[in-house]
Chains A and B, each alone.
Chain A
Amino acid sequence: MKNYKHVFDTLQKEIGKVVIGQEAIIEQILIAMIAEGNALLEGYPGLAKTLSIRTLADLMELKFSRIQNTPDLMPSDITGTYIIEEVSGKRQFKFQKGPIFGNIVLADEINRATPKTQSALLEAMQERQVTVGNTTFKLDEPFFVLATQNPIEQEGTYPLPEAQADRFLLKIKVSYPTFDEEQKIVDIYTSGASVPKMRTLLNKQHLSHLQSVAKQVPIAKDLKIKALKIIEATRTKKDLIQYGASPRASIGLILASKARALIKGRNYVSSEDIETLVFPILRHRIVLNFEAERKGLTTDDAIKELIKKSK
């Protein structure tokens, strides 16, 4: 397990040359990838969301594609479409694959796309395949969708419905860097120094192996029960939460905890893993009731309350 920790430490170090700070964000993105899940990153503009994902894709020798969501984006712009191609004087339809056919797909500002376009992307996330006309195309493995959204602009946006947001394993909140980190960022990007070139550390086979090893990490029975009790509490705590999380959240929490244990070089899941990951797992899966919103509580506050009750 120490070898695996070394791999992830090296990965973080390499990313740290380009992305200053945001170690927690990088870690959560890695957790989502190892747990074979998708992640939704929410943060203000200019916080290196796109840069982090792109850098990670470079380090892992994975095909990176980007979808810039706008209100006029069509589903075929994501999935691909048939084009007429002339071959040897003959015209025929050829399927032109869309940006969804990558290994890491960055869906920028997903809340700006129309619900129809969002559903095309989300269907691909769920089914790992794309249907165009009568033909189904399987997506390449591994396949991750890392979507971003801006919490500021609410006009002209189409917020993801809760049922669709449930398909994302983690909702990662990207925050501002610290003062020292910002100083470092300014020093690097204003000094004219070139951005260091990334060397490939992992490939598809390595990633696939890491994903299978993560599933082997054991979790104690009482910790599993604790995790399930927290998820169950989201459905029973009616004084704060109107709609609770589904069993998808239970699966996601256990898998993500195992992935985090692997990243930390541990051969067992600890309660710290569960308590850390319950926030990104649940914050997009629960809906607060009117009373909680009136008090000004956030989903993170409600989750803190649930963790306190589970102890």
Chain B
Amino acid sequence: MKEFFRVIRESSITINSIIFFDKFLDTLIVFLLIYFILMVLDIYPFFAILPAAMFLIITLYLDFEKNKAVMIEEKYPELHERLRTAFDHAPVENEVVNELHAEVMQEMKKVSVSSFIDTKKTTSKIGVIMGLCFIILLLAAIGINVKLNMIFKDSGLFGYPSSGDGSGSKGDTPGAGGGEDKNIFGDEKVATLGDEELQLQLKTVSYEVLSGNNYKEPPDVNFEETFPDTICADDPQGCGNEQYSEDKTPVEHAELVKNYFLNIAK
């Protein structure tokens, strides 16, 4: 009887592990799908954890409640009705039940874990997960999203003013009125760089700041050994003057500076 209890325990643990793995893959798919949708709608995407966690809990609960003996019998028809009868009468000891337990334990040796794993299904789920990850990363890099305020801008829904409504004020809620929503962002300022107005874009996913201005890369200039002509244009001797080619610091001054730093180091 103890042996039979061990068989029941092992088979239950094994099947529960397989169920957990399968449901975990399903949960990942659900999470990635919801993450993708939230990302596109420009909503904080990690809210997707909540529905995914609930999905995992509910599906695990429902699947763990299933009769493990029936699940094994579906894969191994020779155990049909025998296994569940043996499981239900595990603590019973009599001539007939003992014989049933012995027969079932013998048959259970032929049961393999791999028969409960649907390779095609698992592979396709992993493929879907990888595909979804790729799409999310791609969209995050490109920065495609549909802002909600663009959708509902003139609809009059969710506090947005309807088109044709001059004031657009709908109460004291910040952002409820069309003319009042600017206050929460403060005074308008325009970032400038010199005379040029800066066009900056903040990427919400990667938090990078991209510049919309077209700046040219500085041209490569090769400096020659001597200074450029513009620097020594005022000198009558021009750039040929030795002071532009070498460092003319007196040796005593160089020694002085060197000893100063040595003493500081001590």
Contact = CB atoms under 8 A, between A and B. Distances in A.
B99 A220 contact: no
B17 to A, nearest CB: 25
A267 B100 contact: yes
A259 to B, nearest CB: 12
Contacts of B208: none
A213 B96 contact: yes
A271 interface: yes
A1 B92 contact: no
Interface in A1-56: 1
B85 interface: yes
Contacts of A271: 81
A228 to B, nearest CB: 15
B95 A216 contact: yes
A213 B95 contact: yes
A222 interface: yes
Contacts of B88: 218, 220-221
A267 B97 CA distance: 7
A269 interface: yes
A217 B86 CA distance: 11
A218 B97 contact: yes
Contacts of B81: 220, 223, 268, 270-271
Contacts of A269: 85
B94 A222 contact: no
Contact of B97 (A216, A221, A222, A223): A216
Interface residues of B, number: 17
Interface in A203-247: 213, 216-223
B85 A219 contact: yes
Nearest to B92: A218
Interface in B4-20: none
Contacts of A223: 81, 85
A46 to B, nearest CB: 40
A81 to B, nearest CB: 45
B69 to A, nearest CB: 8
A226 to B, nearest CB: 11
Given A220-B81, A220-B85, A267 B92 contact: no
A1 B85 contact: no
A220 B81 CA distance: 7
Interface of A: prevailing SS: loop
A283 to B, nearest CB: 25
A223 B87 CA distance: 13
Contacts of A216: 94-97
By CB atoms of chain B within 10 A, which of A223, A267, A269 has the most?
A: A267
Nearest to B81: A270
Given A267-B100, A268-B100, A218 B85 contact: yes
Given A1-B96, A268-B100, A218 B89 contact: yes
Contacts of B89: 218
A221 B81 CA distance: 10
B84 A220 contact: yes
Contacts of A270: 81
A232 to B, nearest CB: 20
B152 to A, nearest CB: 53
B122 to A, nearest CB: 29
Contacts of A217: 96
A219 B97 CA distance: 10
Nearest to B94: A216
B86 to A, nearest CB: 8
Given A267-B100, A268-B100, A222 B84 contact: yes
Nearest to B84: A220
A218 B84 contact: no
A219 B84 CA distance: 9
Interface in B89-106: 89, 92, 94-97, 99-100, 103
Interface in A175-200: none
Interface in A156-183: none
Contacts of B84: 220-222
B97 A1 contact: no
A268 B78 CA distance: 13
Contacts of A267: 96-97, 99-100, 103
Among the interface residues A213, A217, A220, A269, which one has the most CB atoms of the partner chain B within 10 A? A220
Instruction: Find the residue from B81, B84, B86, B88 having the highest chain A CB count within 10 A.
Output: B81
Contacts of B86: 218, 268
Contacts of B97: 216, 218, 267
B170 interface: no
Contacts of A220: 81, 84-85, 88
Given A218-B97, A267-B103, 19 more contacts: A1-B99, A213-B95, A213-B96, A216-B94, A216-B95, A216-B96, A218-B86, A218-B100, A220-B81, A220-B88, A221-B88, A222-B67, A223-B81, A267-B96, A267-B97, A268-B81, A268-B86, A268-B100, A269-B85
Lowest 6 CB-CB distances: which A-B pairs, in order?
Answer: A268-B85, A218-B89, A220-B85, A267-B100, A216-B94, A216-B96
11 contacts: A1-B96, A218-B86, A218-B97, A220-B88, A222-B67, A223-B81, A267-B99, A267-B100, A267-B103, A268-B85, A271-B81
